[in-house]
Structure 1
Amino acid sequence: MRVYDKSVIKVNASTENGRVVLDTEGPLSPVAKPIIKRINKIFLEEKPIYSDEENIIFSTWAPPMPGDIFKRMISAQVASILKKRVPDQFSIGITTHCPYDCIHCGAAGTVADPILTADEINSAIAQSLDLGSYYIAFDGGETLLRKDLEQMIAKVDKSRAIVSCFTSGFSLTEQRARDLKAAGLFSAHLSLDSPDEAEHNRVRNREGAFQNTVNGIRHIVNAGILADLFVVVSPHNIDDLDGFYNFAADMGMQEMSIYEIIAVGRWLEHEDEVISSRDVDRLGKFQKSMNNRKDGPRVTSFPNFMGPDEFGCFAGRRWMHTTAGGDVLPCAYTPLSFGNIREEKLAAIWERMGKHEAYNCSADYCMMRNPEFRSKYIHTIPEGTQLPVRLDKFMH
């Protein structure tokens, strides 16, 4: 099927043995071949979460193809070939409030006062769409604590982007899940720190946290929203990969996404308690093994996806995050602000970010795992400094 059609390049998609294959034609085809080859390698080793004769949904993180939003995704890939910067993913914090007190919370210490209003959030999202974003994520705190979440989801132009939210499942009811679906929520990323109930509750510092997640997942699945188990992997839970996967499968979830723990927030002083290169290799093998199974959830390992063998770090290059106070960061885990949406347009901030020495070049892996980056930009932040740090007001 033709999934992208421009005079300079055309992209076709087909399926072979249940796997998606892309090919190109047109004047830009030779230039596009390397990135298409890389994408096809991912498609070959992994499985879509849904496919029929007319549609393919590769992941909770990607738009269905064919379709207008998928065309925007391809446009972003073409832009990257032409060295143009597009924020594929735009995430935005809508609250700092949370019922939990997680021992590894990356958002701990981030100041957002006052919290963005719905109008400010809607405006920022609209600006990101104009920059080319096709994936919008509502982030927290606990997103479900915003009673106007459905209204904000409904405001997103669904011809230009898919919409997701991060949640622990706290307080989610069957009716609210249906309301989120009706508003146009494409996927929900539900976090779990351990497949063991007692351990998950310990990490979240709250009894009942595990059951809240179970209930939330059940309501999301029953409402017909794509459900992703979002797992932050550390040296303390990496041996539970099979348990996480079995949990996601038993709950009827479509995907299990693996992110690495970042030494930031409450985990700032735990630089020796992050995953190693050997752990990343292990995650890659786990992903490949699980995705070779005919049934069960798809596995997406971001440490591999954003590693040197695939795409490298997306922060500040293809990702952009806005805090609940309006500060614009390269990603949710990097406490460096390049401006505030209350003071200037998102496009100006995005341009400034792209010109910064840390983000005007590629990075083989997560910048926050890079000792040189941390030494220059994180270790030099004086203790007690309000986060995120405004780079235009704090010079190294």
Structure 2
Amino acid sequence: MKARVESWGAWVRFGDDAPQAPVDLRGALVAIDREGARTLGLDGGPGWMISDTANGGARRPLEAHVAVTSRCAAGCTGCYQDATPHGTDVARTSIEQTLDTLAHEGVFTVAFGGGEPLVRDDLGELADEVRARKMTPVVTTSGLGMTEARARSLRSFAQVNVSYDGAGADYASVRGFDGASHAERAIEMLIAAGVRVGVNVVLTRDTFPRLAETLERARLLGAVEAQLLRYKPAGRAASLDYLVRRLSREQALGFGATLRRLVTSLREATPPLSLRIDCALVCFLSTDESLMSNAAHLERSGIFGCEAGGYLEAVRADGQRTPCSFAPTVDQAALRAFVAAPPEPCASCPLRKVCRCGCRIVAGFAEGRGADARPFALAPDPECPRVALHRGAS
């Protein structure tokens, strides 16, 4: 068990020593109140002598996204890092220093990315370095370059996520090259090596109608989890082409209903496939009445909106620390102030505490702040259905 004490209680990641519960808590990251923390032998010291809201809602990172290279030969048309075959690998010593810092800060999960992490021969060893510091390593890969030997070398990762946006033409329409077969083969090799596999699925207007088929294919391949990702206007995707690739207004309005149907069908399948959504998709739930009425349940289920600079941080290949993988360095105080007191319609939204006003990258692109390669704006997400309806009415 690993724990990090907070003013309100503690974050706890259970190991094989997890207590008996209606659900399997092994490997789970759980927020518990002060009373629950005390039953686990945790002590908040003087910080627990005052109100649990006295810290003003400050959040510290639970997860860090760490780029280990800027090299990648895939050339994806929407690459948010603008990675190329001529990029550079981050020095091993620099990565280890970063891991030391993250461990000291109480981070629980380190997610390696790039570029393409598989270009590094020491990727499996880096996972061992994360575990040696009592953190959990995960990694995302396109699967290009995967071999049976490489798959076996990745067994120290708690999970390897393979980018898989659909079979055949769907994959190519999202990434600009026909890599679906490479991704599927990588999934098969990882599973054969005993590695837990998830898939990352980027949603676009053209492929969204076949999302159910994509997820079913991933489930049959052996993936145990799928993470749905919003297409974001960053890196090579920060162009006018983004406007025809993003989800349509109708798709955004119906996203909540689509998500509920998928969760039900995949949970009842044998074997099941668990479904997660990234922070930028949470705002698309803002007009779904069944979800809006139970915002607290969403939060307890681990669904969070924009956590840039809060529960999430990123370390770029150049060593720069940013609020998220898509963002530049920003004024953290200004970001916290915006989230604490946003304008309408976010101010009165029942999902406000969960959603946190949508995606800052999308908001920045809409406001035309393109001088920075990764625009960022303290404004409501204009593609949020609630925001779009509000602006249309006004």
When normalised by structure 1's length, the TM-score is 0.68
Counterpart residue number, 2:149: 175
Counterpart residue number, 1:280: 255
What whole-Å deviation, never above 9, does each CA across 1:163-209 have from its counterpart, x for those lacking one?
0111011111111111111xx211011001222x23424543444x2
Secondary structure of residue in 2 paired with 1:87: coil
For the 8 Å contact 2:278–2:305, the answer to whether it is kept is no
AA of the residue aligned to 1:284: L
Counterpart residue number, 2:164: 192
Quote how far apart the aligned CAs of 1:271 are.
3.8
Q: Matches of 1:198 and 1:93 in 2, distance apart? A: 29
For the 8 Å contact 1:306–1:314, the answer to whether it is kept is no
Secondary structure of residue in 1 paired with 2:73: coil
Counterpart residue number, 2:278: 302
Counterpart residue number, 1:246: 216
Counterpart residue number, 2:314: 321
Quote how far apart the aligned CAs of 1:117 are.
0.6
- Structure 2, unmatched stretches of 5+, are 13-17, 43-50, 287-294, 340-355, 378-394
What whole-Å deviation, never above 9, does each CA across 1:91-115 have from its counterpart, x for those lacking one?
1111122121222222227999764
What whole-Å deviation, never above 9, does each CA across 1:308-356 have from its counterpart, x for those lacking one?
644321112111111112222211122x135xxxxxxxxxxxxxx532x
Q: Matches of 1:4 and 1:119 in 2, distance apart? A: 27
- Structure 1 consecutive aligned stretches of length 4 or more whose deviation exceeds 6 Å: 2-8, 10-13, 17-20, 78-81, 109-113
Q: Matches of 1:252 and 1:79 in 2, distance apart? A: 43
What whole-Å deviation, never above 9, does each CA across 1:24-79 have from its counterpart, x for those lacking one?
665589xxxxxxxxxxxxxxxxxxxxxxxxxxxxxxxxxxxx9x9xxxxxxxxx99
Change in CA separation of 1:13 and 1:105 when aligned onto 2, cut-off 3 Å: same
Counterpart residue number, 1:146: 120
For the 8 Å contact 2:326–2:374, the answer to whether it is kept is no
Matched, 1:105 2:76: no
AA of the residue aligned to 1:358: L
Calculate the aligned-residue CA RMSD, in Å: 3.9
Q: Matches of 2:105 and 2:23 in 1, distance apart? A: 36
Structural mapping, 1:369-388, within 5 Å: 369-370=362-363, 373-374=364-365, 379-382=368-371, 387=373
In the comparison of the two structures, how many residue pairs are matched? 317
Bigger relative contact order, structure 1 or 2, given CA contacts below 8 A and separation 6+? 1
Quote how far apart the aligned CAs of 1:147 are.
1.5
Matched, 1:354 2:332: yes
Name which of structure 1's ranges 255-264 and 104-113 shifts more when overlaid on structure 2.
Answer: 104-113
Change in CA separation of 1:359 and 1:26 when aligned onto 2, cut-off 3 Å: closer
Matched, 1:165 2:135: no
Counterpart residue number, 2:226: 256
Q: Matches of 1:23 and 1:187 in 2, distance apart? A: 21
When normalised by structure 2's length, the TM-score is 0.68
Quote how far apart the aligned CAs of 1:299 are.
1.1
Matched, 1:96 2:62: no
Counterpart residue number, 2:175: 204
For the 8 Å contact 1:3–1:13, the answer to whether it is kept is no
Structural mapping, 1:6-21, within 5 Å: 9=9, 15-16=21-22
Secondary structure of residue in 2 paired with 1:190: strand
Q: Matches of 1:301 and 1:123 in 2, distance apart? A: 31
Q: Matches of 1:89 and 1:17 in 2, distance apart? A: 23
Counterpart residue number, 1:34: none
Change in CA separation of 1:110 and 1:324 when aligned onto 2, cut-off 3 Å: farther
